[in-house]
Amino acid sequence: MDFLKRQAALRAHLRRQHVDAMLISHLPNLRYLCGFSGSNGLLVVGPRQTTLFTDGRYREQARQEVTGARVVIETKGDLWRAAAAELGPKQRLAIEADRITLAQRKRLFAHWKGLHRLVLTQGWVERQRVIKDADEIAALRRAINLASSVLEATLARMRRGMKETELAGWLEFSLRQAGGEGLAFETIVVGGARGARIHGQPGPQPLPRRGFVVMDYGVRLAGYHSDMTRTIHIGRPTAKARQIYQVVRDAQSAALAAIKPGVAASAIDRAARRVIQKAGFGAYFPHSTGHGVGLEIHEAPRLGATSQDLLQAGQVVTVEPGIYIPGWGGVRIEDVALVTATGAEGLTPTPKELLTYGL
């Protein structure tokens, strides 16, 4: 990862905004700018120097991970005081207004008398993170391939009467066994009518004797997140089940085909939604079509009806239309796609045919 290049790009932005330094507190942004993956840290990007402040628990980790920043281990326990001491008295300072609490702001001003020179910002580092560099795309590919690779073996463990939580557990164990450093988010495994819960939590309910099971899961690897959903069918699918699955699949294909640089992110949502509406299920697709993914599971751009984002080459987004019918169940298919110079490259290798299992 080229941390110095990322810091240089941020410094250029600071200069354009007539800001001398930026105090960064959002942890994924710290990781992006200097490699630090600990749970407590502050980064000051000054005109010439970058300094990471963390506590004694991370001494060894910071020494190994951090590139392009001086590391200060704060032993008295107040990173905000330590960071304030680093700031020049006359500097115009940018902070991440949407990432800082009132209590933290108070601590900063207890030690730095520059309130009138404070610049409240939002999304300055996140804007850079929207376009993934080659190292990031490689990391995302590794996470996505790992998650895809465990699905088949996990499904082979399904037994009649198995609880949703148990299937979710096997999925999570397999991700860890294959080297995942953590889950990307809380695994979703919901069967039968419970599949209509878009963000349902796996429960003690047994897998259905006949019906869909929605599985939405992901792994974190080197800080990067995967995100995929497959919906499988237990028992013989009805004509309605086959139809709904095909509509969702067609909606996803339409959205993927619409992706290319310069296109509005809202147009991708429209492409998927049109297919579902035409089939008469428009009322049953209540969420947006996708989101960016990287050091965070949900990041820009947002592929929704009201999104103002424009697609650009190097963005990595999910495409995840679904149909959810209360009392009946749900179907969602989710893949990750890379926006290329001419279109989209699907990164999720798992096939999308309707898989049926007899238990």
Provide the binding-site residues for Zn ion, judged by CB under 5 A. Answer: 216, 227, 318, 334
H-state helical runs in 150-264: 151-155, 164-177, 239-258
Looking only at Cα atoms, what is the longest distance across the chain? 72
Residue with smaller CB distance to Zn ion, 252 or 318: 318
CB of 229 to Zn ion, least distance (A): 5
Q: DSSP string of 104-156?
A: HHHHHHHH---GGGEEEESSHHHHHHTS--HHHHHHHHHHHHHHHHTHHHHHT
- Pair of tokens at residue 104: 């933290």
- Pair of tokens at residue 178: 């294959």
Residue with smaller CB distance to Zn ion, 57 or 199: 199
CB of 330 to Zn ion, least distance (A): 13
Residue type, 52: L
CB of 182 to Zn ion, least distance (A): 15
CB of 355 to Zn ion, least distance (A): 18
Residue with smaller CB distance to Zn ion, 37 or 318: 318
CB of 217 to Zn ion, least distance (A): 7
Residue 333: φ, ψ to 5°: -125, 125
CB of 69 to Zn ion, least distance (A): 32
Residue 173: φ, ψ to 5°: -60, -45
- Pair of tokens at residue 9: 């790009």
- Pair of tokens at residue 217: 């899961």
In sequence order, the 6+-apart residues with CB closer than 8 A to the CB of 28 are 129, 223, 295, 296
Distance separating alpha carbons of residues 70 and 41, to the nearest angstrom:
13
Residue with smaller CB distance to Zn ion, 227 or 296: 227
CB of 15 to Zn ion, least distance (A): 36
Residue with smaller CB distance to Zn ion, 22 or 188: 188
Residue with smaller CB distance to Zn ion, 307 or 318: 318
Chain center to CA of 265: 17
Residue with smaller CB distance to Zn ion, 35 or 321: 321
Residue with smaller CB distance to Zn ion, 96 or 296: 296
Chain center to CA of 26: 15
Contact by Cβ (8 Å): 336, 218: no
Contact by Cβ (8 Å): 207, 189: no
Residue 11, H or E segment: helix 3-16
| Angstrom distances, CA of residue 186 to CA of 165, 200, 202, 298, 348 | 11, 10, 9, 13, 19
CB of 188 to Zn ion, least distance (A): 7
